[in-house]
Amino acid sequence: MSTNKKQKKSVFDGFLNGIERVGNKLPHPITLFFILAVLVVVLSAVLSALGVSATGDLINTSTNTMEEQTVTVVSLMTREGIVHMLTNAVTIFTSYAPLGMVLVAMLGVGIAESSGFIAAVTKRIVAVTPRSLITPVLVFLGVMSNIASDVGYIVLVPLGAIIFLAYGRHPLAGIAAAFAGVSGGFSANLLIGTLDPLMAGISNEAVKLVDPNYVVEPTGNMYFMMVSVFLITILGTIITEKVVEPRLGTYKGKLTGDVASQDVSEVEKKALKKASLTLLALVIAVVVLCIPQNSIFRGETGNLLGKSPLIQGVIVLVGLFFFIPSVVYGFASGKYKNDKDVCAAMAQSMGHMSSYIALSFVAAQFINYFGYSKLGTILALHGAAFFKAIKIGTIPLMILFVLFSAFLNLFMGSASAKWAILAPVFVPMFMLLGYTPEMAQVAFRIGDSCTNIITPMMSFFAMIVVFVQEYDDEAGMGTLTAMMLPYTITFLIGWTVMMIVWITLGLPLGPNATIFRVV
């Protein structure tokens, strides 16, 4: 390695270490939301005393029309405010929209992980893939793995190295391809994952600041994210084979670990077949039930999309599509012996959600206080007035929001935590500017996903470094970041260009989800 290259690497590592130091100074998300909640209480009192207000067009709930209204800050330090916080804390928590949806979905996903169903499916698909398709399949499976939360990090990333090495390719390129799909393309999917209802729930809380009648569905970004799967797969494949793998060169090390343990056993194959047939039967049953005009899945007007039982019950269906085949797999593979094992696995999966439940309590209080004090509405009105005044235009505005989200992600890893902070400000602001909450979500999700793979603040980043070190003793965070940076730059540019094209053509973002708001 040349001296110049070492110096460049040292400077780059110094930059990354600076980001890491700054990020490590941030408090835990639970503490952060508690601090923000307290800050809202104090600010509401101070700004209310100063008579801070804003004027703009808002929905009149009695007439359901847009009218010019003046909004003044409401103090939480008054008798009414304190009573509100004390008497409504439990209700605020239990009615927090993302909480129930995520927990229900995770009941099914947790069983899928515990039974080994997800791992077996992933290994089986990769095992039967031709050499020429291994890179796109790895990236594609990585993108799709986000429907099962974090399973892709644990199963697919290390498996990518072993598969690449088995094909005589550099194992770090396999790690890079899988990691790029799992984390860089985290928002994209062909199906509804846990992130979609989570973001929709947070958005619905923020929407109430402007229009309490507006509902953001979990399918609000479906069309855009479905196309994004193929975009990320193509870009990830090109970067892996044209940039990352040539840079890594020929791998001269030896494989460590038990390769055979990554194979699908005969017992697993039989169990996988039974579980797959079960899943197919469930899908067919739902499709058949959707056909009749008086179907239980159709809305009052006979629609299957929008506010229909099918869409409103999609979280329960997702949970069942994971739960039932996974239980079948668990019994067929011998993982489960009786119902007690299944119940224990469900309890264990809920145990992993304990930190999220604790986070939801303080996040719910913060969002409620923000809405009660009218700070979000006032910020949105002032922000809308600013952007209207400068007339920046739709595309430049969305590009700026993408870049802002990408930058913020370098310092705060949790997508839900960031959106819970940003949504109460940006969703109402964009609504007042004429854009839908779904459009705001799209811009945020692009920026939030692309920088996941280069920030030490991402919770699995350190674990991926360990995977890399199994094949390169001298590797560190700088090594992984330098390897993944081409993906970040390419994804950010490519995904943003796709968003620009989508806006230009005026395509729907999802079922009944448009770019521009119709009032």
Residue 412: pLDDT band (50, 70, 90) is: low
Query: Which three-class secondary structure state does DSSP give residue 60?
Result: strand
Single out the residue of 294, 349, 309 nearest to residue 326, CA to CA: 349
DSSP structural state of residue 56: E
Predicted pLDDT at 12: 43
- Three-state DSSP at 517 gives coil
CA 206/CA 34 separation, integer angstroms: 18
Which tokens belong to 490? 């390419």
Could you give the angle at the alpha carbon of 35 between the alpha carbons of 444 and 77, nearest 5°?
A: 115
For residue 1, what pLDDT is reported? Answer: 36
In the chain, domain spans = 16-505
- State yes or no: pLDDT of 80 exceeds 90: yes
DSSP 8-state code for residue 298: S
Instruction: Please report which helix (H) or strand (E) contains residue 71, including its range.
Output: strand 65-72
Please list the residues that pair with 273 across neighbouring strands.
none
pLDDT recorded at residue 139: 95
Closest alpha carbon to 489 in 159, 261, 244: 244
Whole-model pTM over 0.75: no
Considering 108-112, 213-217, 421-425, the range whose residues carry the highest mean pLDDT is: 213-217
Q: How far is residue 24 CA from its own chain's centroid? A: 22
Q: How many helices (H) and strands (E) does the chain have?
A: 23, 2
Per-residue pLDDT at 518 exceeds 60: yes
Q: What percentage of the chain carries pLDDT values higher than 90?
A: 35
What gap in Å lies between CA 199 and CA 196, rounded to an integer?
A: 5
State the average pLDDT over residues 274-296: 92
Residue % of the chain over a pLDDT of 70: 86
- Is the model's pLDDT at 259 over the cut of 50? no
> Residue 230's closest CA among 196, 185, 193?
185
Of 326, 373, 285, 301, whose CA–CA distance to 120 is shortest? 326
pLDDT of residue 396: 92
Q: Is 69 strand, coil or helix? A: strand
- Tell me how far apart the alpha carbons of residues 354 and 339 are, in angstroms, rounded to a whole number: 23
What single-letter amino acid sits at 281? A
Q: Please, which residues bridge with residue 57 across strands? A: 68
Find out whether 359 and 99 touch, Cβ atoms under 8 Å.
no
If one compares 480 and 221, the residue with the highest pLDDT of the two is: 221
User: How many alpha carbons fall within 13 Å on the CB side of residue 73?
Assistant: 22
Find the range with the poorest average confidence among 83-92, 273-282, 477-486, 489-498: 477-486
- Give the pLDDT confidence score for residue 99 in this predicted structure: 80
Read off the pLDDT of residues 1-25 as tens digits, 9 standing for 90 and up.
Answer: 333 444 444 464 465 446 446 545 6
Residue type, 151: V
Residue 26 confidence (pLDDT): 60
What pLDDT, on the 0 to 100 scale, is given for residue 403? Answer: 92
pLDDT in tens, 362-385: 888 988 898 899 887 787 777 767
Place of tokens 């009941």: 107
> Could you give the angle at which helices 437-450 and 195-207 cross, rounded to 10 degrees?
130
